[in-house]
């Protein structure tokens, strides 16, 4: 007897695919078993230790080489549960008052399981689709989208005509998200005994100058974006010094810069380098190094793209009124699967609650989770068309 969607989601929520380090392989295996059970073609792609991507197909009837391929994307990793104590244990998948609690319920095992059950439902219904559906279940989205990168690099997006990403969007039709440029700046000084600071070079004091310059004078150039607003820069981490009586010879910060489509990351980096050059002009002893450790572009699909209209019309069918078009600040696997230059339209849509992503007591509303399955089925049928439909 086949498992229902809610029970299956709970099983998947109980698997601790916490990133870092990931450990997505058991999630991929569980999905694979379910797909096998329903006769859906799939390939498990293992990499590193205990990690895997999973690619699966629901093939259409057409043998036309130009038939459409709709890709469905979801990630299998989750962020750690955090320091705050949860009302329900984060990996117990407790269902209470119409909500399923658990790390990853909204972001985004709920969305991923929804995609899989939409494929299974269509397979069971015997509907004759004109094109193919391709599931891209990825590892490592929460740390630089490493699994999606692997999928894109090995050609898994080459045959794709449009992409649905089931990240939480509160059912909204999200057609753009910001890019992420994560930069580490390290200041190097010279150590000395804390009682004789003049004999050393204090790396923290130098970093103080760098941070002050960032706060006062780091202005990114961009054109305003209707959906995404303005770029941001957050000083996220600072680390330096070893002991009270030692002059620190190293201090590092991590910046989280979020960009909009009118910016180029290389230009942002150049202006940051220039800023630091300016600080050096006032303080010749200052030594600072920049290192980029995450570089994901923003994505944007035109609001009047036919695929966006298909998705929005599908929301009108399922939710009785069309859901609005929005942008979001956080990045998704879409940054590597559908960068603007690839020209593949991408829409992020899911029943998860975006405001609960990475939060304690994350949950998904059971009815939203189930409705999203209907939505994904509707999008697939509307976009690919069926053999009985007039073209």
Nearer to Zn ion, 28 or 108 (CB): 108
Give the three-state DSSP class for 14.
coil
Using the 8-state DSSP alphabet, how is residue 3 labeled? P
Contact 15, 26 (CB under 8 A): yes
Nearer to Zn ion, 167 or 362 (CB): 167
Q: CB under 5 A: which stretch of 16-24, 102-110, 224-232, 316-324 binds Zn ion? A: 102-110
Q: Which of 325, 384, 391 lies closest to 59, judged by CA?
A: 384
Nearer to Zn ion, 59 or 358 (CB): 358
User: Is 108 one of the binding residues for Zn ion (CB under 5 A)?
Assistant: yes
Q: CB under 5 A: which stretch of 146-154, 166-174, 250-258, 308-316 binds Zn ion? A: 166-174
Q: How far is the CB of 77 from Zn ion (least distance, A)?
A: 8
Q: Which of 88, 176, 107 lies closest to 352, judged by CA?
A: 107
In the complex, which residue's CB is closest to Zn ion? 107
Buried b (16+ CB within 10 A) or exposed e, 69-94: bbbbbbbbbbbebeeeebebebbebb
| DSSP letters spanning 116-149 | HHHHHHHHHHT--BSSEEEEEEES-TTTTTHHHH
User: Is 107 one of the binding residues for Zn ion (CB under 5 A)?
Assistant: yes
Please classify residue 343 by burial: count the beta carbons closer than 10 Å to its beta carbon, then call 0-12 exposed, 13-18 middle and 19+ buried: exposed
Q: CB under 5 A: which stretch of 6-14, 98-106, 122-130, 163-171 binds Zn ion? A: 163-171
Give the three-state DSSP class for 205.
helix
Nearer to Zn ion, 250 or 358 (CB): 358
Q: How far is the CB of 391 from Zn ion (least distance, A)?
A: 36
Nearer to Zn ion, 110 or 240 (CB): 110
Q: CB under 5 A: which stretch of 29-37, 108-116, 237-245, 313-321 binds Zn ion? A: 108-116
Q: Which of 162, 152, 142 lies closest to 76, judged by CA?
A: 142
For CA atoms 85, 91, 92, 96, give the dihedral sign. positive
User: Is 356 one of the binding residues for Zn ion (CB under 5 A)?
Assistant: no
Using the 8-state DSSP alphabet, how is residue 159 labeled? T
Nearer to Zn ion, 107 or 225 (CB): 107
119 phi/psi in degrees, rounded to 5: -65, -45
The CA distance from 311 to 379, in Å, is 6
Contact 30, 11 (CB under 8 A): yes
User: Is 24 one of the binding residues for Zn ion (CB under 5 A)?
Assistant: no
Site size toward Zn ion (CB under 5 A) is: 3
Q: CB under 5 A: which stretch of 162-170, 248-256, 257-265, 297-305 binds Zn ion? A: 162-170
Task: Give Dmax (Cα) for the chain.
Answer: 85
Nearer to Zn ion, 255 or 328 (CB): 328
Nearer to Zn ion, 107 or 171 (CB): 107
Q: CB under 5 A: which stretch of 104-112, 147-155, 288-296, 376-384 binds Zn ion? A: 104-112
Nearer to Zn ion, 24 or 167 (CB): 167
The CA distance from 75 to 108, in Å, is 7
User: Is 77 one of the binding residues for Zn ion (CB under 5 A)?
Assistant: no
Using the 8-state DSSP alphabet, how is residue 86 labeled? P
Q: How far is the CB of 111 from Zn ion (least distance, A)?
A: 8
Q: How far is the CB of 107 from Zn ion (least distance, A)?
A: 4
Q: CB under 5 A: which stretch of 118-126, 164-172, 256-264, 266-274 binds Zn ion? A: 164-172
Which chain residues interact with Zn ion by CB under 5 A? 107-108, 167
């Amino acid at each position: 007897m086949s498992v229902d969607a809610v029970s299956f989601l709970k099983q998947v929520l109980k698997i601790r695919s916490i990133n870092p380090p990931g450990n997505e392989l058991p999630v991929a295996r569980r999905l694979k078993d379910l797909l096998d059970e329903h006769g859906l073609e799939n390939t498990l792609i293992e990499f590193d230790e205990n990690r895997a991507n999973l690619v699966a197909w629901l093939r259409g009837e057409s043998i036309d080489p130009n038939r459409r391929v709709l890709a469905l994307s979801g990630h299998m990793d989750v962020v750690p549960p955090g320091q705050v104590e949860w009302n329900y244990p984060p990996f117990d998948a407790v269902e209470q008052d119409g909500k399923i609690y658990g790390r990853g319920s909204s972001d985004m095992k709920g969305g991923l399981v929804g995609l899989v059950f939409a494929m299974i439902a269509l397979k069971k219904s015997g509907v004759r689709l004109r094109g193919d559906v391709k599931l891209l279940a990825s590892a490592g989205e929460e740390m630089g989208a490493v699994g999606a990168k692997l999928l894109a690099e090995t050609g898994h997006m080459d045959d794709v005509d449009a992409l649905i990403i089931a990240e939480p969007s509160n059912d909204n039709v999200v057609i753009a998200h910001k890019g992420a440029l994560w930069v580490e700046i390290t200041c190097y000084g010279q150590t000395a005994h804390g009682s004789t600071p003049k004999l050393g070079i204090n790396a923290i004091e130098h970093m103080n100058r760098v941070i002050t310059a960032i706060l006062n004078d780091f202005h990114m150039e961009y054109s305003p974006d209707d959906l995404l607003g303005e770029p941001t820069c957050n000083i996220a981490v600072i680390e330096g010094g070893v002991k009270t009586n030692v002059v620190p010879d190293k201090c590092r910060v991590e910046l989280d810069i979020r960009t909009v489509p009118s910016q180029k990351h290389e230009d942002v980096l150049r202006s940051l380098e220039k800023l630091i050059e300016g600080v050096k002009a006032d303080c010749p002893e200052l030594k600072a190094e920049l290192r980029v450790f995450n570089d994901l572009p923003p994505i944007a699909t035109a609001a009047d793209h036919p695929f966006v209209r298909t998705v929005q019309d599908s929301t009108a069918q399922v939710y009785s009124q069309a859901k609005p078009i929005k942008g979001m600040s956080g990045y998704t696997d879409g940054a590597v699967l559908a960068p603007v230059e690839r020209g593949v339209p991408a829409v992020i849509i899911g029943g998860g609650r975006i405001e609960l992503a990475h939060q304690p007591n994350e949950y998904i509303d059971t009815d939203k989770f189930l409705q999203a399955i209907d939505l994904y089925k509707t999008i697939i049928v509307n976009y690919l068309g069926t053999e009985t439909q007039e073209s």
